[in-house]
Structure 1
């Protein structure tokens, strides 16, 4: 079914930004400009709040020079949010979409945003408002799709950062350095640090992901063994690691409503190494630096983010609704992926964890299968100090 009546298009961002969220925005804007059926192109300022408070920006009025910079600009150019919505809020959202004559709604976000997107779709479908999701997350934990825009750049950042830290530690091998990676309950970013390895004895020497229960005693054994072998040890650990009971390895610092705030995992483990092993240790936590880094943006990630934005517009114009753009991998060598549409019901609040075959038997590293999966997503080869060594 194709569109005949036309109308306005609205783009909204949700959740934490990435290095390529604006690339998807750019792709959607440029594709929308081509089609006469789309009368107005708007962005919701500040995420879903922009719809609730009728804060829309006319994207057609933005200078071309500004739009061309979007794919190379970190964070969200139109703003984003993590607003929790009530039933009344959803009714307000629908009323405002109708008021602004929105025919096409594109929601760019992660798991939580796709849940919101799906709920809006259910309310809006009887009014012929077409709702499409555009995947976005550094965590790479959206279900069904092979990967999500944002992950490739985050993976490139953690791999390059690990390689650079490794050179520092290798040049003065006297301590254990623990790098804490983002990713919530999924270990994709943490695992991507393995791309820093050129040889078997290269850092990271140990990798711990939340898909395996964390054993402090086994961790200390691993660290002590690597320290005896290398002197300097680089460990990459996920912020979301838990013990065998499913509890965070770090005690909670504060509880506020439904939110629980924990201390830094890297700091906790560094102190554990110092106290239990008597080895000098330190922790590093790049945090949001990893999702805001344009210097390490993956060119492939950027190109696929643009494609996802454009594809969502094309799908909406063809009558599709209640679906999210995803990627289907065709091959690794040469790398080839193609866009596809996934029903929102299949991705709403479903976390995609790191598969067991990507984690080694000991639970302190990754397998060659993961390297084969991840390497194409970071784009061109990393240029790090290790490439310059004889």
Structure 2
């Protein structure tokens, strides 16, 4: 008997289920696995023996297609950091005892940076203890901050949502002749890829942000106020896009709470937009509002990119294909071959070169003043937001799959 199991971890995206469908499809059509299992809530499903089997679902020919366009994470998620082997070897023994008891020869983990740390730890244990289980990572993150891949599943759709939303906000805020400032806070703790996507709102027929600030350059509040005043000399309404993780020259987040850390030791960020709203109100005395895009950035399936969905599927397939050749301790990646025409290839990369690393926006994607992005950013972004997947609607609402951890009978 040879079985495989797949899990999802970290924050959701609208494309992570497309990667899941790619894993399941390739595992099924390869004929190399007798059963395909899913672990509910990431690695916790394995630790708690909380799993489902996809065998019956695959009898429905529409299942994988519907799965690929369902938002959030079909298998549920977790934010659980594996301890180092030296600190809790029994935990690793429990995980691999589960693999052995269920005849698991392939484990596929779909997630972002912290999830790839789990892939690294488990693949290292498997190698050290000569376990015959292949451990493979499949990338996912709207932050686009995983190394060695041109871009990550979920980012293209999130970028499309952000660009569309900024364009619509720009239209809305431009209708009044009264001076006003609108600040839009966009996800991105350490990398400003998502915020940079706001530049795509600047089309021949649309409006976009006047200023864009990313965490890759030091943020100066006095310079910021001068930037705003300079724009207001030319037009009454100023639209600003900022990353949640903007920080000063000393590396201090302008909105970080030093008292609250998540399970991975990251400072809890809250209110960069609100912080700057208060600053402008007090110092410039003009109408100002801040908008935090928050969760819709990662769950707006109605604005997803077909390119993103199709690439995400392929990355799932690639991970399985290489696992069947014996690869373990790798992540599937995208290589961009050209922009015009847009062409990519797929491969795998050593997980030890990816886990716990952060891929930042290149400096030449940001202007010299640090208050905008360059055309290189737009050229990089344009191809990956193209296309709209076909969604099924019922009574005017999109139809998505029910989540098994909420509806186990389905």
TM-score range, shorter chain: over 0.9
Give the aligned partner of residue 407 of structure 2: none
User: Could you tell me which residue of structure 2 aligns to residue 70 of structure 1?
Assistant: 67
Cα RMSD over matched residues?
A: 1.7
- Distance across 2 between alignment mates of 1:93 and 1:53: 10
**Preserved contact between residue 210 and residue 240 of structure 1 (Cα < 8 Å):** yes
Q: Aligned residue for 1:387?
A: none
Q: CA deviation at 1:96?
A: 1.2
Structure 2 equivalent of residue 214 of structure 1: 219
- Return the offset for 1:380: 3.4
Map of 1:363-382 to 2, 5 A cutoff? Answer: 363-380=370-387
Question: Residues of 1 paired with 2:221 and 2:48: CA distance?
Answer: 48
CA contact (8 A) 2:81 2:118 kept: no
Q: Supply the distance in 2 between the matched residues of 1:278 and 1:132 (Cα, whole angstroms).
A: 54
Bigger mean CA deviation after superposition, 258-267 or 31-40: 258-267
Contact 2:256 2:267 survives alignment (8 Å): no
Q: Give how far 1:173 is off.
A: 4.4
Task: Indicate the residue corresponding to 1:323 in structure 2.
Answer: 330
In structure 2, C-alpha distance between the alignment counterparts of 1:52 and 1:354, rounded to whole Å: 37
Report if the CA contact (8 A) 2:277-2:288 is conserved: yes
> How far off its partner does 1:48 sit?
1.0
Q: Report the equivalent of 1:246.
A: 251
Note the C-alpha offset of 1:254: 4.3
Identify unmatched segments of 5+ residues in structure 1.
1-5, 382-390
SS at match of 2:344: strand
Please name the residue that 2:278 is paired with.
Answer: 271
Compute the displacement of 1:303 (Å).
0.3
Q: Deviations over 1:8-66 (max 9, x none)?
A: 11101111010100001111111111122211101100111001111111011224433
C-alpha distance in 1, partners of 2:221/2:3?
55
TM-score normalised according to structure 1 size = 0.93
| Counterpart for residue 351 of structure 2 | 344
Greater displacement, 194-203 / 40-49: 194-203
* Residue of 15, 22, 31 corresponding to 1:20: 15
How big is each residue's C-alpha offset from its partner over 1:240-265, in whole Å with a ceiling of 9 and x where there is no partner?
Answer: 11111111112527425745333311
Q: What residue in structure 1 maps to residue 360 of structure 2?
A: 353
Counterpart pick for 1:297 among 291, 298, 304 = 304
1:137 pairs, out of 136, 141, 144, with 141
Aligned length: 376
User: Would the aligned equivalents of 1:203 and 1:233 in 2 still touch at CA under 8 Å?
Assistant: no
1:282-310 deviations in whole A, cap 9, x for unaligned?
01111111100011101100000010111
Match of 2:54 in 1: 59
**What is the TM-score when the length of structure 2 is the normalising length?**
0.89
- The one of 3, 8, 31 equivalent to 2:3 is 8
Give the drift of 1:201. 9.8
For 1:201 and 1:273, how far apart are their aligned partners in 2?
26
Q: Which residue of 2 aligns with 1:151?
A: 155
Q: C-alpha offsets along residues 137-182 of structure 1, whole Å, 9 cap, x if unaligned?
A: 0000000111111100010011000000000011124311100000
